[in-house]
Structure 1
Amino acid sequence: MSETPISRRSAAISAIACTAVVFDGFDLQALSYTLPKLVAEWNISSVQAGWLASYTFIGLFVGAVLLGAASDRWGRKRMLAVGVVIFALCMGTAGFADSYWQFAALRFCAGIGMGGVLPGAITIVSEYMPAARRGRVVAVCGGCFTFGFVVAAVLAMFIVPDHGWRAMFHLSYLALAVALLIALFVPETPQYLAARGRYDAAVATVRKVFPSMREAVESSKPADFFAVNDSEAEQGRYRSLWGPRYLRATVLISLLYLFLQFVVYALNFWMVTLLVNRGLSLATSYGYAIEQALAATLGGFIIGWFLDRLDRRVVLAAAFAAGGVCLVLFGLTSSVAALYVLNALAGALIIGGQNTVHILVMDAYGIEARATGLGWALGIGRLGALLGPLIGGYLLALDLPFPMYFVVFAVPAVLASATALALRSVRARQPRPQEAIAAAGV
């Protein structure tokens, strides 16, 4: 059963969820690529610009924690659609803002919606795909997030110089079409339905999405087929993350996400501005951003392939450590060719590793707490993501030498590497009976 093939319907469901993630990445990164124009129009300082990112990440923290937990309580599909609607409306409307504070308030609200998209989408994709392919599947879903960065950078090159920053934000209204697709065509995962005792709906979903499983589900009692322990179905609460079963994993995963997202978002937010300050044109700086995002997407796929074959914690630790070295060298080199190579490597190793790190959460928590655990991890990560751009803004105000920014950004990458290695001390969670359906790929 673990070799159950991916069905057309499950592939379509995953494609819709991944499209939502592309918009999520686009909307998050659009601010970075429009920031120079926005700063010039409103004459705001680098510290105020850093706070714009921080307001966004505060919203992302709230959204990841609240909507992540809500996904375990009220359903993955429902909360994913809600998250997309919130960020589409708020981001699109931010393009009409007349002042710094109007824009900041809308970015905060949009962040709440964006924060709920990634935990919902990754949980849906993971639960609709075979467990043996989960590393690669999570890499694809995470890669869609950084592919959204690429889309944002390419569109910014054509839109921002001639049409200003506002048009970029109006494009977010298009995500409402994805929310409609989720509402109409994405069924709730059978694992979630069975865990809530809704066996009839879970069986109906299996029949519809996985035709090859019809005989198996029809010849078994639903309770036996899904093997759900109802006493555990109600444990999808944040307090369960801090119980004996998950405590050590929760602490280490929280630290990992905190360090990792600090460096990822400090890098993403300030890269274009740092390169412009160094003398590069805006268009050339966009080129570096596009290269980095493309490398991150490809790097995530490659890392995901290794994650399904080697010790996942060692693979990610090696990637983060090597990425930190690349950042230091990027700040020190003056060779254009070396800048491009190191920029691509840093993107592939650090941001690409971030695209796949969610598999550690999928491994650590049971079905009853999976979205809650991922929402918590992403929420804690958003605190790091908040601090990265904010501290970067203060560093810019100090007018430090160019290499120092990248030395600072490299430190949390090395700490993320050490934390990933520390996760080897956590005993791998043994699958519980209710996860039989997940192992079967349904």
Structure 2
Amino acid sequence: MSQQTVTSVVGKARLNGFHVGVLVMCSLLMIVDGYDMVSYGTVISHLMDEWNMDPVTAGTLGSAALVGMLVGGMFIAPLADTHGRRPLMITCVTVASAASLACAFATGPVQLGALRLVVGAALGALVPNFIALTGELAPQRSKALFVTLVSCFYSVGGIAAAVFAIYVEPLWTWRGVFYIAGAPLLLVPVLLRHLPESPEYLAVNGDRERLLAVLRRVDPTGDHGGVVADERPAAGKVRLSQLFTGGNALNNVLIWVFFAMCMLLSYGLNTWLPKLMQTAGYPLGSALWNLVVLNLGGMIGAVAGGWLADRWTYRGTLVLYFVLASVSLVGLAFDPNAVVLNLLLFVAGAATIGVLAIIHAFAVEYYPAHVRSTGVGWAAGVGRIGAIGGPTLGGALLAMELPFQQNFIAVAVPGAIGAVAVALVAGKRFRTAPRSEPVAGVTSRRGSEETRKV
């Protein structure tokens, strides 16, 4: 019997209930992320009135969670490479939900900002790891679709935040939005019982018993007694410098650029769209429904992007989405009628939020297992610089009291920058040196494919 690698077993497995279970759990975690990140945008008008905040202060407060995500993505997410995805994910969702619930009891901007910083740090570590876990357990033919399907549930969380705000705020004020944010604590017992560990992590760390248990669930009909680990570099601490060796430096920088542009667009719009629409003369309830349309577009755009990336290339799909983002946002500057307005918002959501899903799928495919949490974590973390800039830029634009049209033209520029960065990324996968030492407890073999078109 010929030996199989861990990746080949997972990649060739037929879809079963185990895959669906992982997909559901990771999708629920993405809903948590979407709800927590969009919730501030739904309450910002109330907070500005109640706490007498100017737009710049409100924008800075909105960036607090995104600063936390920067820290979480860059410094906490990589801990999964040495301690495992499962314990880190369970810890992070617990901390994020508890801190979000505590936001309901904040009495001023300083308290709320500190709590949002904690929420962001937990989510910044959580997101790249459940995205990576999804990709590591998905069959190869559906990998991009799996990752983007999970990612599209960010928009479900955003829609939930907007809808709850419309109906809950009149009853419980803005604090009710954060009461609901504590509900994911009920998900923790489910994760403790059913969430699997990454098979690639188990293989790298020589935990053969747990590895075989996971592989039997991935492929119940196979004989995995002779499975071998995929080749990886020599064991040791994963360092940031590894992302820049072997001719990878330029691609890493470009990936960071389009992560930043994508997040600037996505988080900027989700934070300030209701307020921007209010300044254009729309009532708050109508402005919040605009946020629902934006995130509905994001959900559809993410699924469509995953389907397209599986059949085309990540690079072509990303360029298309960035261009659509810029065109639709410029279109909003021409004061369209209600039908065209909602159509453009739908397309803008599909492109700006949808591209957020695709770039994560791109990163999961680009970085190999031994640096995946570090690579995806740092890409998402540096991307948070753009995310931090989104709410801050929106606040600055509102403070300048520019015409409604100029605001949307200004936020269309990052889409053009992102399209150029994607177009410049080379079409090959992360370059890594082979290793000859065996993995403890699991035999090692060189993979048959050094690079893959992305």
TM-score band by shorter chain is over 0.9
CA distance in 1: counterparts of 2:263 and 2:233, whole angstroms: 35
Partner amino acid for 1:178?
L
Aligned to 2:339: 337
- Superposed CA RMSD: 1.9
Partner amino acid for 1:131?
Q
Partner amino acid for 2:408?
F
Contact 1:69 1:238 in 2 (8 A): no
CA distance in 2: counterparts of 1:82 and 1:208, whole angstroms: 24
Cα offset, 1:404, TM superposition: 0.9
Residue 44, structure 1, aligned to residue 46, structure 2? no
Contact 2:149 2:302 in 1 (8 A): yes
Residue 267, structure 1, aligned to residue 269, structure 2? yes
Contact 1:39 1:49 in 2 (8 A): yes
Residue 399, structure 1, aligned to residue 401, structure 2? yes
Partner amino acid for 1:382?
R
C-alpha distance after superposition, 1:320-364 (max 9, x if no partner): 112201101112133111111111111112211211111221222
Contact 2:104 2:176 in 1 (8 A): yes
Task: Give me the TM-score of the superposition, normalised by structure 2.
Answer: 0.91
User: Residue 374 of structure 2 is aligned with which of 350, 360, 372?
Assistant: 372
Secondary structure at 1:212 match in 2: coil
The verdict on how the C-alpha distance between 1:287 and 1:249 changes in structure 2, with shifts beyond 3 A counting, is same
Aligned to 1:319: 321
Unaligned runs of at least 5 residues, structure 1: none
Aligned to 1:62: 71
Partner amino acid for 1:388?
G
CA distance in 1: counterparts of 2:202 and 2:323, whole angstroms: 40
User: Residue 85 of structure 1 is aligned with which of 69, 90, 94?
Assistant: 94
The verdict on how the C-alpha distance between 1:234 and 1:386 changes in structure 2, with shifts beyond 3 A counting, is same
Residue 301, structure 1, aligned to residue 303, structure 2? yes
The verdict on how the C-alpha distance between 1:185 and 1:269 changes in structure 2, with shifts beyond 3 A counting, is same
Cα offset, 1:430, TM superposition: 7.2
Aligned to 1:277: 279
- Amino-acid identity (%): 26
Contact 1:317 1:420 in 2 (8 A): yes
Aligned to 2:18: 9
The verdict on how the C-alpha distance between 1:47 and 1:245 changes in structure 2, with shifts beyond 3 A counting, is same
CA distance in 1: counterparts of 2:381 and 2:71, whole angstroms: 7
The verdict on how the C-alpha distance between 1:233 and 1:11 changes in structure 2, with shifts beyond 3 A counting, is farther
Worse overlay, 176-185 or 144-153: 176-185
Number of corresponding residues: 430
Which stretches of structure 1, 4 residues or more, deviate above 4 A after TM superposition? 429-437
Worse overlay, 158-167 or 403-412: 158-167
Contact 1:263 1:388 in 2 (8 A): yes
Worse overlay, 410-419 or 59-68: 59-68
Residue 97, structure 1, aligned to residue 99, structure 2? no
Contact 2:314 2:358 in 1 (8 A): no
The verdict on how the C-alpha distance between 1:201 and 1:434 changes in structure 2, with shifts beyond 3 A counting, is farther
CA distance in 2: counterparts of 1:230 and 1:330, whole angstroms: 49
Aligned to 2:137: 128
Residue 240, structure 1, aligned to residue 242, structure 2? yes
C-alpha distance after superposition, 1:192-229 (max 9, x if no partner): 1001122222112212443123x1x02x1xxxx23344
Aligned to 2:428: 427
C-alpha distance after superposition, 1:116-148 (max 9, x if no partner): 121011011111111221111111111011111
Task: Give me the TM-score of the superposition, normalised by structure 1.
Answer: 0.93
Contact 1:33 1:153 in 2 (8 A): yes
Contact 1:21 1:117 in 2 (8 A): no
CA distance in 2: counterparts of 1:258 and 1:430, whole angstroms: 23
Contact 1:86 1:112 in 2 (8 A): no
Unaligned runs of at least 5 residues, structure 2: 1-8, 435-444
Secondary structure at 1:36 match in 2: helix
